[in-house]
Amino acid sequence: MKKIISVIRNIWKIEELRNKLLFTIALMAVYRFMAQVSLPGIDPSKLTASTNQGGLLGIINAFTGGAFSRASIMALGVMPYISASIVVQLMGIAVPYLQKLDKDGQSGQNKKTQITRWLTILITLIQGPAYISSLGSLGIRDAIIINGPAFFIPATILLMAGSIFAMWLGEKITDKGIGNGISLLIMIGIMARLPGSFLQEFTSKLEAGNGALIMILLEIVAWFLVVLITVYLVTAVRRVTVQYARRTVAGAIKSVGSVRDYLPLRLNSAGVMPIIFAQALMFVPGLMAQSGNETISAIGAQFQNMFGFWYNVLFAVLIIIFSFFYTAITIPTNKMADDLKRQNGFIPGVKPGRDTAEYLDIILSRITFPGSLFLALIAVLPAFVALFNIQQNWALFYGGTSLIILVGVAIDTIQQINAYLLQHHYEGLMKASTGRRVK
């Protein structure tokens, strides 16, 4: 406890870090305040929307801290921006113009950011009307007190404005605050639902009696163990030894060469993206269940329950597939091999160039398999937890997208704070921030 207090004091002593933290907290508070504001034409007292949606609706509602199910002006949150970022990233594989921007340094990144912003606006123009049209299925129809174009047009404009404002808040936090702004807004939305979910579980256990406090204590211990496993998954890396040869500077051999270093390859290089892609596809069975064909509807119904057996089997398989896919498109082993060759670096026992790229690709394949299994296990863990008579809202925090994001964003933010502390010769929050080594 004394160490924590000491670290907080050290953070407060660094003016730049203190201002960044206060700026970040202020903008996150603004975001949460705006998430409580309902669309005009909605009666908040009649909102009875369920927050237990599965699949894609569930992840959107989690990312927005429940704003999606409350018909808030922040109902779409940063999801359009995330969708736009994913589209731009995937298009970068096939579109030569975007590939050229990647090589143009900071100016190219600025152009890609501008493209992402315009694409975000386009996506909100599609998602906004779609969201308003689906309010009936979300249980919000009775709360609408204005119908027709008088509600539809202003609501669409405000939803678009809310998403753009959320995007602006996220970019400002990234530029002038601490941590990744978009990720922090998602994290604060998820954390906003954590106390209510735990309170609901605590109340249900007290009403049931029979050693309720012991059961709650065991659940908390189990949750901390899951968090520790998730931390390992997020931080684990495979260190590849790299040797840098001596370099000639001004016609002389300098002793700065012949340095041994490590190339860190993450056990879970794809992060949370495989879960997001998989959950997006798990939305398809719900559409199948609504078809007129009895056979197709029966098959689709088997995959509608996010706590059901077949839903989680398919969900886990998709996560493993997308882990390999996303790792393959985001980790450019050929570029890494070329960069090493340009810097006079090589992996001992491996020829520079093509052989190095193939060697890195083999290592990535080997560590991605156990990493994808771990990710799939954590993703489907809420379904197993729910079997022990635990409330579904609380069970969702035992794994899945919510826990991966909470842990990943928290670690990234702590590492940035740690860097400031170490730069000013203070003891950091963590002993090591480079990740755990896996063999």
Angle of the 354-386 helix axis to the 273-281 helix axis, nearest 10: 60
- The pLDDT of residue 293: 67
Q: What percent of the chain shows pLDDT beyond 70?
A: 82
Distance, C-alpha 379 to centroid of its chain = 13
CB 386 within 8 A of CB 305: no
Angle at 267 between CA 265 and CA 273, to 5 degrees: 105
pLDDT at 204: 85
pTM of the entire structure? 0.79
pLDDT band at 431 (very low <50, low <70, confident <90, very high): low
Sign of CA dihedral 405, 59, 87, 112: negative
Domain pair 15-194 / 209-439, same fold: yes
Least confident of 134-143, 216-225, 273-282, 407-416: 134-143
Cα(227)–Cα(216) distance, rounded to whole angstroms? 16
Question: How many whole angstroms separate alpha carbon 382 and alpha carbon 439?
Answer: 29
Structure token pair of residue 208: 């049931």
Instruction: Could you please state the CATH topology (level 3) that the domain comprising 209-439 is classified under.
Output: Preprotein translocase SecY subunit (1.10.3370)
SS (H, E, C) 232-265: HHHHEEEEEEEEECCCEECCEECCCCCEEEEEEE
Q: How far apart are CA 247 and CA 256, in angstroms?
A: 8
- Euclidean distance between CA atoms 111 and 101, whole angstroms: 7
Mean pLDDT of 146-174: 88
List, for residues 290-319, the tens digit of each pLDDT value: 666 667 777 766 777 777 788 888 888 989
Q: Where are the domains of the chain?
A: 15-194, 209-439
Helix (H, G, I), strand (E, B) or coil at 345: strand
Query: What is the rounded (10 degree) CA torsion for 310, 314, 320, 321?
Result: 160
Question: What share of residues in the chain are helix, strand, coil (percent, to 5)?
Answer: 65, 5, 25
What's the CA gap between 33 and 19, in Å, rounded? 21
Q: What is the mean pLDDT of residues 162-187?
A: 89
- Beta-carbon contacts of 63 under 8 Å, excluding residues fewer than 6 positions away, are 77, 78, 79, 82, 186, 189, 190
> What's the confidence (pLDDT) of residue 50?
43
Confirm if 367 and 238 have CB atoms less than 8 A apart: yes
Tens digits of residue pLDDT in 32-90: 998 888 888 877 766 654 444 555 566 667 777 777 777 788 888 888 888 888 888 77
CB atoms within 10 A of CB 21: 19
What residues contact 238, with CB distance under 8 A and at least 6 apart? 264, 265, 266, 267, 363, 367, 437, 438, 439
Sequence-ordered strand ranges (E) for 232-384: 236-244, 248-249, 252-253, 259-266, 345-346
Parallel/antiparallel/unpaired status of strands 236-244 and 345-346: antiparallel
In whole angstroms, what is the distance from residue 285 CA to residue 313 CA?
14
CB 69: neighbour CB atoms within 10 A? Answer: 22
Higher pLDDT, residue 172 or 271: 172
Q: Which CATH superfamily is domain 15-194 in?
A: SecY subunit domain (1.10.3370.10)
